[in-house]
A and B are shown apart, each in its own frame.
Chain A
């Protein structure tokens, strides 16, 4: 169990950290479009044979009238590195032969770092709110934002942060598709 920080606990929710709540990244156009090949690769990877993702005749018979795309799939389009950018894998191993595979390569639209001495990061939950299923041919735009930063105190009496990052996804018509929120613990 955790609890809110007490007055005698050294707070890690400094004014500089608090000021990061609401900070947004640039609005980024993801490279490429939502296409059938990406849809096939994704559904194969998660072993989802649902015909509404590949059978046009079946899809026409549904409420949506056409093939649709799992909303969670477009959230990965933020990871795409544009071809004119430095290759992420090359860069990662150039800086460190024992790289984790990503290294310190900056993704487009990244948020500035949280100004804290806390370095250990643990996943604290994921959430997706869906407003509209994406369609084949959609161009995806996304924008990062620090949604919330809270302080809690662990069993050891030390304060830590729960940082929630939000990404908003829209299409070429500015339709809101979905919002993802990922919370992480910073100790």
Chain B
């Protein structure tokens, strides 16, 4: 949960971004498609996906951006501002997959705008395959408190 407060002054290069686990199911994929007005059948129609050579409907790659944003925001706390997020999808994610978002702090600096923290991120499935890589985020913290 994101209710914790993290102070910029306590963050160091090499700190781990708390991992975030996501269990993927077809109902969640349907919910995502409905919420985002994305009706592409590859994300919910099993027969259609198999006809095109996929083992099953696969997760919309943009959903990974939602997971990574949540991971860094949960770690950083409600006072932090997610300034930038970049990611590249590498491996398809399917219903039944367990995806874990990982990350590490790579840069910390103070600026006039606030404390800036850069992170490297990636997402692995239960087989240890990198589903998303590379990925990165930049967060801005208030300089005095994290709340």
Q: Residues of A at under 8 Å CB distance from B?
A: 38, 41-42, 44-52, 58, 61-64, 70-72, 76, 79-81, 88-89, 92, 98-102, 123-130, 133
Q: In the complex, what distance in Å separates the CA atom of A113 from the CA atom of B82? A: 32
Q: List residues of chain A with CB within 8 A of the CB of B50.
A: none
Give 1 or 0 for each of B35-67: 1 = CB within 8 Å of chain A CB: 111111110010010000000000001110111
Given A88-B39, A128-B84: A46 touches B79 (CB 8 Å cut-off) = no
Q: In the complex, what distance in Å separates the CA atom of A100 from the CA atom of B79? A: 41
Q: Which of B35, B74, B79, B84 is close to A50, meaning CB atoms less than 8 Å apart?
A: B74
Interface hits, B15-36 → A, CB 8 Å: 22, 28, 31-32, 34-36
Q: List residues of chain A with CB within 8 A of the CB of B83.
A: 129-130
Q: Which of B31, B61, B74, B88 is close to A41, meaning CB atoms less than 8 Å apart?
A: B31
- Tell me whether B69 is interfacial, beta carbon within 8 Å: yes
Cross-chain contact B1 with A46 (CB below 8 angstroms): no
Q: List residues of chain A with CB within 8 A of the CB of B65.
A: 72, 126, 128
Q: List residues of chain A with CB within 8 A of the CB of B34.
A: 41, 45
Q: Residues of B at under 8 Å CB distance from A?
A: 1-3, 22, 28, 31-32, 34-42, 45, 48, 61-63, 65-67, 69-70, 73-74, 78-79, 81-89, 142, 147
Given A72-B69, A100-B41, A128-B84: A45 touches B28 (CB 8 Å cut-off) = yes
The minimal Cβ–Cβ distance linking A118 to chain B, given in whole angstroms, is 20
Q: Taking CB as reference atom, which chain A residue is nearest B45?
A: A101
The minimal Cβ–Cβ distance linking A65 to chain B, given in whole angstroms, is 11
Cross-chain contact B28 with A47 (CB below 8 angstroms): yes
Cross-chain contact A76 with B67 (CB below 8 angstroms): no
| Cross-chain pair count, CB within 8 angstroms | 113
Offer 15 A-B interface pairs, CB within 8 angstroms, sorted by A.
Answer: A42-B36, A47-B22, A50-B2, A50-B74, A72-B65, A76-B36, A79-B37, A79-B38, A99-B41, A100-B41, A101-B40, A123-B89, A126-B88, A128-B84, A130-B84
Q: List residues of chain B with CB within 8 A of the CB of A123.
A: 61, 88-89
Cross-chain contact B40 with A45 (CB below 8 angstroms): no
Q: List residues of chain B with CB within 8 A of the CB of A41.
A: 31, 34-35
The minimal Cβ–Cβ distance linking B41 to chain A, given in whole angstroms, is 4
Q: Taking CB as reference atom, which chain B residue is nearest A103?
A: B39
Cross-chain contact A50 with B70 (CB below 8 angstroms): yes
Which 5 pairs between the two chains have the least Cβ-Cβ distance? A46-B66, A76-B36, A79-B37, A45-B32, A41-B35
The minimal Cβ–Cβ distance linking A130 to chain B, given in whole angstroms, is 6
Q: In the complex, what distance in Å separates the CA atom of A52 from the CA atom of B70? A: 12
Q: In the complex, what distance in Å separates the CA atom of A104 from the CA atom of B107? A: 44
Cross-chain contact B66 with A100 (CB below 8 angstroms): no
The minimal Cβ–Cβ distance linking A49 to chain B, given in whole angstroms, is 7
Q: List residues of chain A with CB within 8 A of the CB of B40.
A: 100-102
Q: Known pairs A62-B147, A63-B142, A127-B84; list 4 more (Cβ under 8 Å).
A: A47-B22, A52-B2, A102-B39, A124-B88
